[in-house]
Amino acid sequence: MGPRRPVPLSFAVPVTVPALATTLAAPSRLGEARLLLQDRFGYPDFLPGQTEAVTAVLEGRDTLVVLPTGGGKSVCFQVPALMLDGLTVVLSPLISLMKDQVDALTARGLPATFINSTLSASEVSDRMARVRRGEIKLLYVAPERFDMGTTAERLKEVGVRLLAVDEAHCISEWGHDFRPSYLRVKEVRQRLGAPPTVALTATATPEVREDIARQLGLRDPTLVLTGFDRTNLSYQVIATINDAAKDATLIDLLRERVDDGVAIVYASTRKTVERIATMLQHARVAAVAYHAGLDDAHRAEVQDAFMRGSARVIVATNAFGMGIDKANVRLVVHHAMPGTLEAYYQEAGRAGRDRQPATAILLHAFPDRFMHEFFISGALPEREVVTAVYEACCRCADRQGLVSDNAAAIAAEARGKVSDREAESALRILARGGALAVADGSRAKAQVRLLATPARIKSELTEREHGLELALLRSLWRRAGERFHLGIVADLDALPPGVGGPIGATGLLELLQDKQMVVWRRLGEGITLTDKAKAITEWPVDWVGLDRRRRGELRKLELMQKYAYTDQCRRAFVLRYFGDPAARPKCDGCDNCLGVHIAASLGVAAVKGRRGGAGTRARPSPEATSTSSRGTAGATDAPLTRDEIELLDALKVVRSRLAKDDGVPAYLICPDRSLREMVRARPRTSSELARVHGVGPARLEKFGAAFLAILRRA
């Protein structure tokens, strides 16, 4: 009987809760699992969904587990791992997450360890030796290390009985935390011998679930889906005008609501986290800051203080909380709107993991979306931006194709206004298309281009005399396909062990180059063009996929803002987004359904609640909210240059057309002062245009695209 073919997840039979006993494993195995759960984890029984997931994993079936935050996803692979013979490898995206889970397991006397970038080479070797001796049952590995060097081959020699992919939404380009390193998991899984795999997440729309199954190559996967509703959580949105109002409201909320537990405050950037934590401390609210910019020791100290309960309020970026099992979080406040409902649901869901009542509050102002638009345009730049960066690299490259590794310098060289962030993203896109390589001196990388045709290779290289050379060529071809003829960057550390590692591969490449089969050279640190004589159109850059992802991210942002503005049931809004049939028109746990809304504080430490209909919530006008986040774009009374006058005239032509279409005077579309500031500031994104005097959210939404089209061409 051959291997089962992967099928779309929609064709798999989902195991939902409650499930029939006929779907369960042998009673003795399930009973053994329950006894282990009670004895080693201290839980009386499995939670909804865990029984079905453990059953599927013990039966060796590929499984996709979607449980809400706090639903106990880790138990779904930890219990089977301890029952199965052999090793379970767990892919975990965060160092803090794997450390916490391993610490919890070892505290229970369970054989687990992790390998990540915090360990020295000798520590990694020691832990891998313990794995080979069979002393470890659960090995946590970061996806970036999963395919590094010979890790996969060494694990295959040990024998991987189960592969668990935690936070599996990271593998999907439709997920809210997409990570390119996850895309290599399918290939490495095959190199491990395609062991049974369980993928776990709390935030997956039907589209993301399909993508997870496809990207991992799951075979007839069993879907365990318990639903997304957290009935103990109440959802509220407080409309605010600006950050000052948010700060005052936050102080009042924390003074009133954290007496019986702890609170998490999420902010969008490291700088904002530090500012809010300092502001709370000055207001005599005991708070600590947590973000990825802290050194490891300080970050661990803050996290430990929060877990112990000595820190009652933690202000953090979204780097905090993934997989953190803190039971008594009574309040989660978002100081700014997240970019997606998936992110909001996951972060809000860190409240009330003990199933006691808890509250998730979003402090919302219309300009919150501008930051996300800025990040989206920076992470997923337009084709024109990527082309400008490639052409800048070609102009800057030396004879060997070496380019400065300074993205800011490349951005400055690019024609048109390109931000440093856009340049960095464009370089990554070009690297994925094979047009250039961003080399790290800590890894052995080489630029290799295939010269010989398949027919010539077949006629001149025989297995008997040239087996290693053929093995190397096959390995590179498997990774690159037809792109091998254009030129690729090969990571010599990641080649199969049979070719002798980087040293052996280097010798083989020299032999192949002598035969004029390939041309190659070793890469040092920095950015290297593969072939600067080629136009960007000759490289297989996925422009369609790039545009699709950009549109998808903008659509998610729009839905997140609709959640903030809806006057219908917020719980139902979230459940419908995730495709949960449990959505109902009304609930008893959101401000709209209860008719209870909190007015934003305007610098006065008093939170006022009021009851009324769903439409009674006070909202700031779009024009009012826009003024809070922008300053003066610059003086406008200095004489314009000839080029600036031409640009101003072009903007006035657009304004006249828009005025004619709307049947209003031109100044109502946009005043002259605003047009002159546009000429001075040359905004290229919605967020930059919003900072121009007189461009409020209403004008931005209705006319912004027309003005930006002219400004981007200037």
543-565 vs 341-348: helix crossing angle, rounded to 10:
50
Q: Residue 668 — pLDDT band, cuts 50, 70, 90?
A: low
DSSP character string of 318-337: TTS-TT---TTEEEEEESS-
For residue 588, give Cα distances in angstroms to 70, 234, 314, 338. Answer: 21, 8, 28, 24
Lookup: tokens for 616: 């009674």
> What residues contact 170, with CB distance under 8 A and at least 6 apart?
93, 143, 177, 178, 179, 182
Average pLDDT over residues 379-408: 83
3-state secondary structure 500-523: CHHHHHHHHHHHHHHCCCEEEEEE
Six-digit token pair at 434?
């094979």
pLDDT (tens digit, 9 = 90+) per residue, 304-356?
788 777 788 999 987 676 546 677 889 999 999 999 998 899 899 888 887 88
Residue 217 contacts residue 359 (beta carbons within 8 Å): no
Enter the pTM of the model: 0.64
CATH code of the domain made up of 9-225: 3.40.50.300
Peptide bond into 622 cis (omega under 30): no
Q: Amino acid identity, residue 277?
A: A
* Domain segments of the chain as ranges: 9-225, 233-368+563-617, 376-544, 630-713
Q: Residue for token digits 């040092």? A: 524
Structure letter (DSSP) for residue 542:
-
Cα gap 486→647, rounded to integer Å? 41
Torsions phi, psi for 98 (to 5 deg): -65, -35
Query: CA-to-CA distance for 512 and 244, rounded, in angstroms?
Result: 66
User: 630-713 in CATH: which number?
Assistant: 1.10.150.80
Task: Quote the DSSP letter at residue 590.
Answer: B
Q: Read off the DSSP letter of residue 149.
A: T
d(CA 410, CA 571) in angstroms, rounded, equals: 46
pLDDT in tens, 203-232: 788 888 888 999 899 999 999 988 788 888
Q: How far apart are CA 201 and CA 49, in angstroms?
A: 13
Residue 611 has pLDDT above 70, yes or no: no
Q: What is the DSSP string of 177-196?
A: T--GGGGGHHHHHHHTT---
Q: 456-467, pLDDT tens digit by residue? A: 998 889 888 888
Spatial separation of the C-alpha atoms in residues 224 and 48, rounded to whole Å: 10
Whole-angstrom distance, CA of residue 171 vs CA of residue 128: 26
Q: Quick check: 99 pLDDT over 90?
A: no
Give pLDDT, residue 184.
78
Proportion of the chain in helix, strand, coil states, percent, rounded to 5: 50, 15, 35
233-368+563-617: in CATH 3.20.20.70: no
Q: How many Å apart are CA 127 and CA 124, to the nearest integer?
A: 5
Q: Which DSSP state fits 197?
A: E
**224 against 483, higher pLDDT:** 224
Side-chain-side CA neighbours of residue 416 (13 Å): 23
Backbone phi and psi for residue 380, each to the nearest 5 degrees, phi listed first: -130, 70
Sequence-distant (6+) residues with CB within 8 A of 1 are: none
**pLDDT surpassing 50 at residue 13:** no
Q: Do domains 9-225 and 233-368+563-617 have the same CATH topology?
A: yes
List residues bridging with 139 in a β-sheet: 89, 113
What is the pLDDT, as a whole number, of residue 160? Answer: 92
Amino acid at position 234, single letter: S
Per-residue pLDDT reduced to its tens digit, 38-80? 888 878 889 889 999 999 999 999 999 998 777 788 999 999 9
Structure tokens at 466: 């040239």
| C-alpha to C-alpha distance for 127 and 119, rounded to whole angstroms | 10
pLDDT band at 446 (very low <50, low <70, confident <90, very high): confident
Average pLDDT, stretch 283-289?
Answer: 90
